[in-house]
Structures are given as structure tokens and as C-alpha cells.
């Protein structure tokens, strides 16, 4: 066992750049700040992507005496996190240009800290590392949400997210303390060895508390109260980051913790998790039906998607890892594209979030309207797009493991959600427009169009993502033995 | 010191903290509840560290304390920012975002 610091070079690079930006923020004149900091952070994230790509290997690598384990699975999640970070930087440049906030430097380096936290979260294989990186990502998100001056909604959303998120984190620590008490160690590998000899009842207590902590973070139903408020209240680029990077990393950490330690008594907890999954997917889909605000609607749809991902945990471990990686891949691009589109449309303040103001978009900007159709149809799971393949593999995994009832409920929830995904599309193609002009900035335009293109291209070539997910799965299984 | 007495103490702290979060409407009181829950986990970690005879648990406590401090700082900052706009720290007044 040695330190192996080189494995963490992307995280170290991002942290270094962020600290450097704190200093640079003091001497830069205000009018250059937005351009300078967005260029620095996008270059830093780009270099981090290259570094991560160069370090992906099917053989699991350990750093810091096994506190961090990076397999191809973690590498894939890191790439997704970094891509959504890059798109967030692009989108926020234009957003800040319009809003004229007074804390520009703070916004960009806090954003980099969110990415560092999310990457460490996906890589951690020790309880305290997991907790600290989760909190780095979440506390930075609270700051980002409430940073915009005079924006009351963001602060209210931040407070609600803060209270529920902290309760979730506190329950997570309590579960970790119980787990430590039962096994006497905090490393996943050693916990898994010790856990096999224990009786399931005390382990179930730890599993329940830890699962509750993660369900708070990912927004499954009994713990979903913050999701709509936080998604609606947060500035749209921050919603983008919350919905993609933080959520993807939280799911990855959940898998890395749950599968080695708690899978040998799956029969004891699968009923409870199945009920949570079904309730999440249905209540998310049903509550989204009547929303006028597109961000709020997407928040409820995110709850529904969370339910679908959690349902996958009831199949066998190998199928779970494969289909969750596939789904997260698709989900990241869909979330980035959807919130990028909303940022463009809300150029005139809050109005673009209301579904009425989408009327007649087709006559104003055909390319954006067509990409909106692709985004919403992909979220609903219509065949040639990537969202369909994500749902397809989850259904396949569920049917293969004999969970036909769950598979049917995934199908029904998707059918319900088709209604509210079609609503914006209908509004876009309505004739009578309300005539609000908007000029999209270059960054947000590129981010939306590129991620929409990814939705379409990967939808036509699903075997590319399938290959990547299989690589992630094989390296994940290798790290268990 | 037995595991049972440890669980009794930390469970009591956890219950008080959770009750505070559910019952109180003042944001500052909510923060008290949060700190109590985190500290109930700390009690458990330190106690188990002693019982197992290794230092994983005690080290964990330092990280939990640091994170709790950061959390309190950010949370209070958000509350101050909201108080400047709304002149209230009662959670029932924060209902701009609904349905």
C-alpha cells in the first residue's frame, strides 16, 4: 500500500486551479472577470477530462492506502461529471452576462469545488472519505444556489435543500457509525469481509440509515420534498449541475458502497427498496402532470427517473451496474440539454420557465425547437433516442431477474410521463406566439446543441454506450475480488 | 462501558435532534437539531473506537466536526441573506415556492 498520488491528478489539478482563482479574483478588474474565469475553468475542466481519460484502465487502482479506488466504472462517472461541469461553465458564462451578479469569481471556483467533490465521491472506497466528499459537493451547491444577489427564490430553495440535505447527511453518518461499530473498520473491502459473518438484523439498521441518506441526496419519494423547490428556485445553470453531476456521483457512490457490503442479504431489503422505487416513479410522474413551470416539471420527472434507477437495484448486481451506468450516461446528456435549453429561453428573466412563453417557438428558432423535441422525447423514452435504450436495458434487467411487476410499473410510469413531456412540444408548435424576442449566447447554444446531438447519435449507436458500460461493469466486478 | 449504554445515549440524542427538526419552526432551532444528530453519531463513533481498540472512529469524528462547522457557517449565511429580504426566520414564512 502506498499513496499513489498520481491517480488523483485530475482532482488535484481542479483544486489547485480553484485555489489559484481565489487569489486571482482579488486582483482582476470586474469587467474582465466573467470572460477570464469562464475560460480558465473550462480549460481546467478540459485538461481534467484528458487526464481522467488517460488514467482509465480496466484494472482497479488504489490510492491513499485504499481510501480511494478508481476502476473504469469510476472513470466513466468522472467523465460524465466533468462533461456536465464543462457544459455548466459554458451555460453560466452567458447566464452571468445577463444577470450581472457581483460574485463572479466565487461562482466559478465554487463550481470547480462541486466537481472535485463529485469526483471524489465516485472514487471513494472508505466511509469518512465518502462523507467528506459528499459534503464538499453539497455545501458548494448550497453556496452556488444562494449566490445571486436579489434573487429570493434561489435562497429559499437553498435553505430547503440545506435543511433536508443536512438531515440526510447526518443520518448517513449515523448509519456509518453503526456499520463501523459492527465491523470495526471503515474500508469497504474489510467491512464486506466482516459483514458476511454478521447476522442480518443489525446490518439492516445500518443499511436502512445509509440508504436513507443516499435517498435524501438523490430525491426518492419519502425524502423528495426539497427537489421541486430546489430545482425551481436555483439559478438554471446550478440546477443543471445539481441534476447531472451531483446526482450521478451520488448514485455511483451508492452502488460502490451497497453492492459489496449489503448484497448478500438482498432478500431482506429488496421489498422495501422496491416499494420506494414504485412510489417514486408514480408520484413523480403524476405530480408533474399539472405543472406550469418547466423547471418544476423536470424536477418531478427527475424524481420519477430516480425511482426507475432504484428499481434496478432489485435485479442481480451485474445487471444493476450495467444498466445503471447506461442510464446515468443517457440521463446526464438529457438533463444538460434540457436545462441548457431553459437557460436560453429564460433570457428575459423568469418568463422562459413558464410553459406559456414557449408558444410559437418554432417560428422564432426552428433548430432549438427541433432539439427540444429530441430532448423531451428522449426523456420520455421514445425509440430512436438514447433515453429509450436506457429504459430498455433496465426493463431487460428487471425481466431477466424475474421482477415482472416492477418492469410493468416502469412501463406504466413512462406512459404517464409521456403526457407531460408532450406538453412543451405542443406549445412549441402552436401558431400564436407571444412575441418575446431572445438572443441565445454562444456558450449556452453550443452546450445545448452538442448534448442534443449526443442524445441523437448515441440513440442511433447504443452499442457504443453498451460497450462502455460493460467495461465499467467488468472493472467493477474485478475490484470486488 | 457496554455497547448498549452507547446506543442508549446516542439514540437519545438522535431522537431529540429529530424531534427538534420535526417540531420547531424557527430555523436556528432547526440547526440545533442538526448539530445534535451529528453529535449523536460522534458519540457512537468515539465509543466504538474505544471498544474496537483502533482509531478509525476517532479520526472520523474530526472530519464530522469539521464538516458540521462548514455546514453551520453556510447555513447561517443563507439564513442571514434570507432575513435581509424577508425580515423573518420562521420556516412558515418561506413559501414563495409552491406546487
Calculate how close chain B gets to A232, using CA atoms only, in Å: 8
Find, among B1, B41, B17, the residue nearest to A172 by Cα.
Answer: B41
Return d(Cα A172, Cα B65) in angstroms, integer: 15
Give residue for cell 449566447.
A441
User: Which positions in chain B touch A234 (Cβ < 8 Å)?
Assistant: none
Among A290, A213, A418, A342, residue whose Cα is nearest residue B98 = A290
Burial class (CB in 10 A: 0-12, 13-18, 19+), A2: exposed
Interchain pair A232, B75: CB under 8 A:
no
Closest to A162 measured CA to CA, from A143, A175, A134? A143
Measured distance CA(A439)–CA(A351) in Å, rounded: 14
Query: For residue B65, what pLDDT is reported?
Result: 95
Report chain A residues whose CB lies below 8 A from the CB of B88: none
Residue of chain B whose Cα is closest to the Cα of A290: B99
Q: Which of A431, A397, A395, A440 is nearest to A413 (CA)?
A: A395
Torsion sign, CA atoms A472, A238, A360, A448:
negative
DSSP labels for A15-42? HHHHHHHHHHHHHS-HHHHHHHHHHHHH
- Report which DSSP code applies to A70: E
Q: What is the pLDDT of residue B40?
A: 94
DSSP A402: T
Q: What is the pLDDT of residue A41?
A: 94
| Residue pLDDT tens, chain A, 481 long | 678 888 899 999 999 999 999 999 999 888 888 899 999 999 999 999 999 999 888 888 888 888 999 999 999 999 999 999 999 999 999 888 888 788 889 999 999 999 999 999 999 999 999 999 999 999 999 999 998 877 888 898 999 999 999 999 999 999 999 999 999 999 998 999 998 888 888 889 899 999 999 999 898 888 888 899 999 989 999 999 999 999 999 999 999 999 988 888 888 888 899 999 999 999 999 999 988 889 999 999 999 999 999 999 998 889 999 999 999 999 999 999 999 999 888 766 556 778 887 887 787 788 888 999 999 999 998 888 999 999 999 999 999 988 899 999 999 999 999 998 998 888 888 766 665 666 778 888 899 999 999 999 999 999 999 999 999 999 999 888 7
How high is the pLDDT of residue A85? 95
Nearest to A288 by CA among A380, A427, A421, A154: A421
| Closest to A444 (Cα-Cα) out of A357, A378, A365 | A365
Phi, psi of B32 (to 5 degrees): -55, -45
Rounded-to-integer distance, Cα A157 and Cα A159, Å = 5
Rounded Cα gap, residues A332 and A451, in angstroms: 9
CATH number at residue B11: 1.10.287.3510
**Chain A environment of B78 (Cβ under 8 Å):** 142, 146, 155, 158-159, 162
Instruction: Return left, alpha or beta for A405; rule: phi > 0 is left, psi -120 to 50 is alpha, else beta.
Output: alpha
SS3 state of residue A187: strand
Question: Exposed/middle/buried for A463, CB within 10 Å: 0-12, 13-18, 19+?
Answer: exposed
Q: Which of A166, A188, A169, A168 is nearest to A179 (CA)?
A: A188
In a domain, B59, yes or no: yes
Check CB contact of B65 with chain A, cutoff 8 Å: no
Would you call B37 and A167 a contact, using CB atoms and an 8 Å cutoff? yes
Number of structural domains, chain B?
1
Report if residue B86 sits inside a domain.
yes
Q: Which of A228, A369, A385, A380 is nearest to A308 (CA)?
A: A380
Among A156, A180, A233, the residue with its CB nearest the CB of B45 is: A180
Evaluate whether residue B31 is within a structural domain.
yes
Determine how many CB atoms are found less than 10 A away from the CB of residue A350.
11
Q: For residue A363, how far is the Cα from the chain centroid? A: 33
Domain span at residue A293? 5-480
- B51 touches A at CB < 8 Å: yes
For residue A351, the model assigns a pLDDT of: 67
Identify all chain A residues contacting B57, using CB atoms and an 8 Å cutoff: 177, 180, 186
Q: What is the mean pLDDT of residues B76-96?
A: 85
DSSP B53: T
Residue of A nearest to B37 (CA): A170
Query: Would residue B98 count as lying in a domain?
Result: no
Q: Which domain holds residue B85?
A: 3-93
> pLDDT value at position A74?
94
Q: Taking 70 as the threshold, does the pLDDT of residue B70 lie above it?
A: yes
Q: What is the pLDDT of residue A437?
A: 65
Task: Provide the sign of the torsion angle of the four alpha carbons A337, A339, A342, A347, taken in this order.
Answer: negative
Q: How many CB pairs below 8 A link A and B?
A: 116
| Smallest CA–CA distance from B52 into chain A, residue | A184
Distance CA B57, CA A127 (A): 10
How many domains are contained in chain A?
1
Highest mean pLDDT pick, A214-223, B61-70, B88-97: B61-70
Q: Which residue has the cell 427498496?
A: A273
Domain presence at residue B99:
no
Contact, A312 vs A398, CB < 8 A?
yes
Per-residue burial over A376-389, b if 16 or more Cβ lie within 10 Å, else e, is bbbbbbbeebbbbb
Q: What is the ipTM of this complex?
A: 0.95
Quick one: how many helices (H) and strands (E) in chain A? 20, 2
Q: Do A174 and B44 touch (CB under 8 A)?
A: yes
A325 phi, psi to nearest 5 deg: -60, -45
- Which residues of B are less than 8 Å from A174 in CB distance? 10, 14, 37, 40-41, 44
Q: Could you give the dihedral angle defined by the CA atoms of residues A251, A257, A261 and A262, in that order, rounded to the nearest 10 degrees?
A: -30
C-alpha A387, offset from chain centre: 15
Nearest CB among A132, A156, A158 relative to B96 is that of A156
Is B45 domain-assigned? Answer: yes
- pLDDT, residue A100, reads 72
Q: Going by C-beta distance under 8 Å and a sequence separation of 6 or more, which residues neighbour residue B35?
A: B17, B68, B72
Rounded Cα distance, A68 and A81, in Å: 17
From chain B, pick out residues whose CB is under 8 angstroms from the CB of A153. Answer: 96-97
* Residue reference for cell 446528456: A333
pLDDT of A1: 63
Amino acid at each position: 500500500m502506498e499513496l499513489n498520488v498520481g491517480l488523483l491528478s485530475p482532482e488535484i489539478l481542479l483544486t489547485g486551479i480553484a485555489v489559484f482563482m481565489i487569489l486571482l479574483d482579488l486582483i482582476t478588474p470586474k469587467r474582465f472577470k466573467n470572460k477570464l474565469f469562464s475560460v480558465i475553468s473550462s480549460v481546467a475542466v478540459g485538461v481534467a477530462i484528458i487526464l481522467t481519460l488517460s488514467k482509465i484502465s480496466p484494472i482497479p487502482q488504489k490510492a491513499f492506502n485504499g481510501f480511494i479506488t478508481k476502476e473504469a466504472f469510476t472513470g466513466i462517472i468522472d467523465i460524465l461529471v466533468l462533461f456536465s461541469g464543462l457544459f455548466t461553465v459554458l451555460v453560466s458564462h452567458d447566464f452571468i452576462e445577463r444577470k450581472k451578479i457581483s460574485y463572479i469569481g466565487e461562482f466559478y471556483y465554487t463550481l470547480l469545488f462541486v466537481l472535485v467533490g463529485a469526483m471524489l465521491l465516485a472514487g471513494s472506497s472508505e466511509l469518512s472519505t465518502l462523507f467528506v466528499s459528499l459534503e464538499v459537493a453539497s455545501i458548494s451547491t448550497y453556496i452556488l444556489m444562494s449566490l445571486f444577489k436579489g434573487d429570493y427564490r434561489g435562497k429559499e430553495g437553498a435553505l430547503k435543500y440545506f435543511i433536508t440535505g443536512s438531515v440526510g447527511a447526518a443520518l448517513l453518518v449515523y448509519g456509518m457509525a453503526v456499520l463501523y461499530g459492527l465491523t470495526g473498520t471503515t474500508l469497504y473491502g474489510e467491512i464486506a469481509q466482516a459483514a458476511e459473518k454478521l447476522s442480518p438484523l443489525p446490518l439492516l439498521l445500518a443499511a436502512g440509515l445509509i440508504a436513507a441518506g443516499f435517498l435524501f441526496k438523490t430525491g426518492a419519494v419519502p425524502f423528495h420534498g426539497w427537489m421541486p423547490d430546489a430545482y425551481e428556485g436555483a439559478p438554471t445553470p446550478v440546477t443543471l449541475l445539481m441534476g447531472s453531476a451531483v446526482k450521478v456521483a451520488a448514485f455511483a457512490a451508492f452502488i460502490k458502497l451497497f453492492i459489496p457490503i449489503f448484497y448478500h442479504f438482498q432478500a431482506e431489503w429488496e421489498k422495501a427498496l422496491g416499494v420506494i422505487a414504485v412510489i417514486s416513479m408514480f408520484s413523480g410522474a403524476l405530480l408533474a402532470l399539472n405543472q406550469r413551470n418547466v423547471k418544476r416539471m423536470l424536477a418531478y420527472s427527475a424524481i420519477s427517473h430516480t425511482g426507475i434507477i432504484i428499481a434496478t437495484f432489485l435485479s442481480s448486481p451485474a445487471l444493476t451496474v450495467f444498466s445503471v451506468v447506461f442510464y446515468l450516461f443517457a440521463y446526464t446528456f438529457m438533463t444538460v440539454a434540457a436545462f441548457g435549453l431553459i437557460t436560453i429561453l429564460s433570457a428575459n428573466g423568469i418568463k422562459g420557465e413558464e410553459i406559456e412563453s414557449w408558444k410559437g417557438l418554432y417560428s422564432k428558432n426552428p433548430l432549438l425547437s427541433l432539439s427540444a423535441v429530441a430532448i423531451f422525447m428522449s426523456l420520455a423514452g421514445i425509440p430512436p433516442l438514447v433515453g429509450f435504450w436506457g429504459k430498455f436495458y433496465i426493463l431487460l434487467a428487471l425481466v431477466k431477474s424475474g421482477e415482472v411487476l416492477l418492469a410493468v410499473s416502469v412501463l406504466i410510469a413512462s406512459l404517464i410521463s409521456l403526457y407531460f413531456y408532450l406538453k412543451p412540444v405542443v406549445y412549441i408548435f402552436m401558431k400564436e406566439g407571444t412575441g418575446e424576442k431572445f438572443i441565445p449566447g454562444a456558450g449556452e447554444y453550443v452546450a445545448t446543441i452538442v448534448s442534443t446531438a449526443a442524445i441523437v447519435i448515441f440513440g442511433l449507436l447504443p452499442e457504443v454506450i453498451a460497450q462502455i458500460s460493460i467495461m465499467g461493469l467488468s472493472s467493477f466486478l474485478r475490484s470486488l475480488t | 462501558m457496554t455497547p448498549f449504554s452507547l446506543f442508549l445515549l446516542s439514540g437519545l440524542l438522535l431522537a431529540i435532534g429529530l424531534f427538534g427538526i420535526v417540531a420547531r419552526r424557527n430555523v436556528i432551532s432547526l440547526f440545533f437539531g442538526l448539530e445534535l444528530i451529528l453529535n449523536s453519531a460522534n458519540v457512537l463513533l468515539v465509543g466504538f473506537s474505544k471498544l474496537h481498540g483502533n482509531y478509525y472512529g476517532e479520526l472520523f469524528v474530526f472530519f464530522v466536526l469539521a464538516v458540521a462547522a462548514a455546514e453551520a457557517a453556510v447555513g447561517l449565511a443563507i439564513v442571514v441573506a434570507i432575513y435581509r429580504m424577508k425580515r423573518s426566520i420562521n420556516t412558515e414564512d418561506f413559501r414563495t415556492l409552491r406546487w
